Amino acid sequence: MEVVEVFHMNEGNGDTSYANNSVGQKNVILRTKPTTEEAITDLYNSLCPETISIADLGCSSGPNTFLVVFDIIRAVEKLRKITGTHSPEYVVHLSDLPSNDFNSIFRSLPRYVEDFKKEMGDGFGDCFFAGVGGSFYGRLFPSKTLHFVHSSNSLHWLSQIPKGLEENKGNIRIATSSPPSVIKAYYEQFERDFLTFLKARSEELVTGGRMVLYFSGRKSEIHNPIHDVLNIWTLLAKCLKDLVTKGLVEEEKLNSFNIPIYAASLKEVKMVVEKEGSFSINVLEGFTYDFSESVKDGKAITNSVRALVESLVVNHFGRGVIDQVFNKYEEMIGECMAEFVKEEFINIVSLTKI
């Protein structure tokens, strides 16, 4: 299965949409704001472009899409007011996979922009918004046309399910019982994808251009124990096994289901950046984020997971089982909330195109 063909966050603004279930990701964006501001400030001070071209990769749809972009522009406006220079023109590329809900973004754009222009006041430069559908594991923009690339909560998604996961039976991603061959297959897919990502951006960014990326990672070099305790993914695996027990899904079908996610360590990220060779590293750090600060109850956690992976579950098992899977999820999370691990490690990477 080509992830890039079917994967998308839940569209619209219903109960299980990404727009209404992304407070956790929003809080990660807010935590990483100082790094983003520092990078855009350095960029503006060093290049001072008349037109700033910004790309948000994996923009999804909903309030987070605008939050990121307006924070970047706000930082530039603050600076140019201090230095007494006129406002640059802004070109903002909102990019995600083709099946992303771009319609929702562009329907709500005029309202958001109008409010933002009022906030920015007189003298604010023109802003041009473009939607770019395509995978960030490939070229999306012409050569040397971007000044600033931002990507939040997205780069842990791989371009495809790694090959060679036949021995990962009973798991839906890397777990304690996964043999070394499975860990290797996941890592190699991550390395290939991240190299491709960096190579594409290195061609699109101007020299001195900046890139701020943050995505799920792992704190230690080993893959355990965090991935095998009760967390959002192991609980999903249990719900899918319940379908097998009830005879609704063939065991073989479950065994061939794996989530295309890899949580890289900071060391692995550094290794790939250095191997690709087009970027210098300004920031490479991480923090532990407790998502129970944002999503308090079982229903909210269930809807957040559903907003993320419904497209993958439906693609593999069919639409017929989806309510059953997530009803079970909500029921089970209610029973095990106390042991449920709500922490995630986030990698923050800030780079400059050499």
Residues that bind ligand SAM (CB under 6 A): 4, 7-9, 22, 25, 29, 58-60, 64, 96-97, 100, 135-137, 152-154, 157, 159
Between 136 and 186, name the residue whose CB sits nearer to ligand SAM: 136
Q: Which residues pair with 160 in a beta bridge?
A: 2
Q: Which is nearer to ligand SAM, 159 or 202 (CB)?
A: 159
Smallest gap from Cβ 112 to ligand SAM, in A, equals 15
Shortest distance (Å) from residue 65 CB to ligand SAM? 7
Q: Nearest-5° angle of CA 153, CA 154, CA 159?
A: 160
User: What is the DSSP secondary-structure string of 217-245?
Assistant: EESSSS-TTTTTSS-HHHHHHHHHHHHHH
Instruction: Give me the residue whose beta carbon is nearest to ligand SAM.
Output: 58
Identify which of residues 190 and 243 has a Cβ nearer to ligand SAM in the complex.
190
Q: How far is the CB of 89 from ligand SAM (least distance, A)?
A: 24
Rounded Cα distance, 135 and 95, in Å:
8
Give the shortest CB-31-to-ligand SAM separation in angstroms. Answer: 12
* Angstrom distances, CA of residue 352 to CA of 73, 149, 206, 279: 19, 10, 10, 5
Rounded CA separation 189/187 (Å): 5
Smallest separation (angstroms) from ligand SAM to the CB of 152: 4
- The answer to whether residues 176 and 224 touch, using CB atoms and an 8 Å cutoff, is yes
Minimum CB distance to ligand SAM, residue 58 (Å): 3
CA dist 242 and 218 (Å) reads 28
Q: Tell me the two tokens of residue 192.
A: 């290939």
Q: Is the CB of 135 or the CB of 178 nearer to ligand SAM?
A: 135
253 contacts 317 by C-beta, under 8 angstroms: yes
The smaller minimum CB distance to ligand SAM, of residues 58 and 298, is found at 58
Backbone angles phi, psi at 199, to 5 degrees: -60, -45
Give 160 or 255: the residue with its C-beta nearer to ligand SAM.
160
